[in-house]
Every structure is written in structure tokens, then in C-alpha cells.
Amino acid sequence: MGILYLASFMKILILFAHPRLSGSHVQRTLSDAVSSLSGVTFHDLYAAYPDFTIDVAREQALLAEHDVIVLQHPFYWYSAPAIIKEWLDLVLELGWAYGPGGDKLHRKFLMNAISTGGADAAYRRHGRNRFEITDLLSPFNQSAHLCGMAYLEPFVVFAGRWLTAEDLALKASDYQGLIEGLRDGHIDPMTRLAKAYALPLAFEAQRLQKKRHAT
């Protein structure tokens, strides 16, 4: 049996990264849809750390306070803008996020919310980009897993710049609905796990504990 998170409120942290926000169209629209929602912390990494001097203690405190961590960014070179990598390298420390004693992220959720230049059809084995988007995001999937987090199906706006204003507004509304649904417990994150995702042991331990309490 799965663990039900239904109807429990989740604190959402959106880590946003766009190095050229003035030229952004898609990510700006997505951000506008979620940045001032109550119960959602929207944290613009490039604005907070223009010189890349990441405050590790502050970032770890933010992570500890939230249940669902969203990495919202344009898809750059089949990955994320540089500050996301810097953030991962510095913030997810051995003994804090993983390894002996590294249990601070256990049973939290991680999701990428991205926009691409390429069309959905290009992200196929026989398409121009040769890999599915979920395969290309696998370093995030595995990093979450190593830290005892559950990795959720990414939210993707494909070929965002080519969408009509109406279609982009619809995508932004879908994104807002997803964030609000996760926040309010209307959407159980366990129903949004990435395809074929096997939960890390941190979740199994919780399930066994619940079962023991129930008997």
C-alpha cells in the first residue's frame, strides 16, 4: 500500500533560476502565476546571489522548512542554468543531505518545472534530441533519490516561445493549479512520482513505522 499524503498541506519552495530574466517570456509568465501564492516560497537564485556566493546555511534552513522543492528554470544545454549546479554542489552537503547522518531531506519531494526551446516531438529516441526529457533530467532524479527524496514527474512547457499567448496562459494556469493542488493536499505527490520511480528507503522506513503503530 502507498503512503497517502492526501489532504495534508505541503509547504512549497520554488527555487527559480533564469540568468537573463529581462529577455524571458515563458519563465516570466510561469513565475507570475506562482510567485505570490500564499504558502509558497518563491526564491529567485540569480537575484539573491548575483555573484554566485550562495549562503549555504540560509538555503539549508529554507529546505528544512519546506516539503516540496521545485527547481523552476529554462532547460539549458540539456540541463539547468549554472546557478542551479552551484546550488546543488554547495547546499546538498555530505552529512546533511546524504551519507552518514545526512537525513535532512528525507521524505521531501523534488520536481523540475522547466521550459524548453525544443518541441515535445524532438525529445524522442528518434527525434532531434535523441533522448526523452525525463532521461535528460535523470541527474536530478538520482540526486533526489540519494538524498531520500521522492522525485516527481517534471512540469514541462515544450517550445514555449512558439506557443500563442493563450496557450502559454493555459500552461501557466496548469502550473499554478499543480502548485496549489500540492500545497493544499488536493494533489497527492505520491500520485505524481516520475515514471518507474522506486521510492528511496527513507520512505519505506516511514511506511513500516506507520504499520507498526497501527498494529
Ligand X SMILES: Cc1cc2nc3c(=O)[nH]c(=O)nc-3n(C[C@H](O)[C@H](O)[C@H](O)COP(=O)(O)O)c2cc1C
Q: How far apart are CA 17 and CA 69, in angstroms?
A: 13
Cα–Cα distances in angstroms (integers) from residue 177 to residues 34, 184, 187, in the given order: 9, 10, 9
Residue from 15, 17, 147, 160 touching ligand X (CB under 6 A): that is 160
Q: Does the footprint of ligand X cover residue 211 (CB under 6 A)?
A: no
Is residue 138 near ligand X by the rule CB under 6 A? no
Using the rule CB under 6 A, give the single segment among 3-11, 18-26, 61-69, 93-101 that binds ligand X: 18-26
Binder of ligand X out of 26, 34, 187, 199 (CB under 6 A): 26
For residue 25, state whether it binds ligand X (rule: CB under 6 A): yes
Q: How far apart are CB 145 and ligand X at their closest, in Å?
A: 23
In this chain, which stretch among 21-29, 34-42, 144-152, 164-172 interacts with ligand X, using CB under 6 A?
21-29
Q: Which three cell numbers stand for residue 197?
A: 520511480
- What single-letter amino acid sits at 8? S
- What is the closest distance, in whole angstroms, from the C-beta atom of residue 206 to ligand X in the complex? 36
Q: Which long-range contacts (CB under 8 A, 24 or more apart) does 28-31 make?
A: 29/168, 29/169, 29/171, 29/172, 30/72, 30/113, 30/115, 30/157, 30/171, 30/172, 30/175, 31/72
Q: Which amino acid is at 40?
A: V
Q: Helix, strand, or coil here: 166?
A: helix
| Least distance from ligand X to the Cβ atom of residue 75, Å | 4
Residues within window 59-78 making contact with ligand X, judged by CB under 6 A? 74-78
Count of positions on this chain that bind ligand X (CB under 6 A): 17
Positions in 103-122 near ligand X (CB under 6 A): 115-118
**181 lies in the binding site for ligand X (CB under 6 A):** no
Residue 5 and residue 68 in contact, taking contact as beta carbons nearer than 8 Å: no
Options 58, 128, 161, 186; binder of ligand X; rule CB under 6 A: 161
Shortest distance in whole angstroms from residue 32 CB to ligand X: 11
Q: Own/partner pairs for 132-138, CB < 8 Å, 24+ apart?
A: 133/75, 134/194, 134/195, 136/78, 136/79, 137/112
Where does this chain touch ligand X (CB under 6 A) — which range of 23-31, 46-54, 146-154, 201-209? 23-31
How far is the C-alpha of 36 from the C-alpha of 211, rounded, in Å? 39
The nearer residue to ligand X, 18 or 108, going by C-beta atoms, is 18
Provide the binding-site residues for ligand X, judged by CB under 6 A. Answer: 18, 24-28, 74-78, 115-118, 160-161
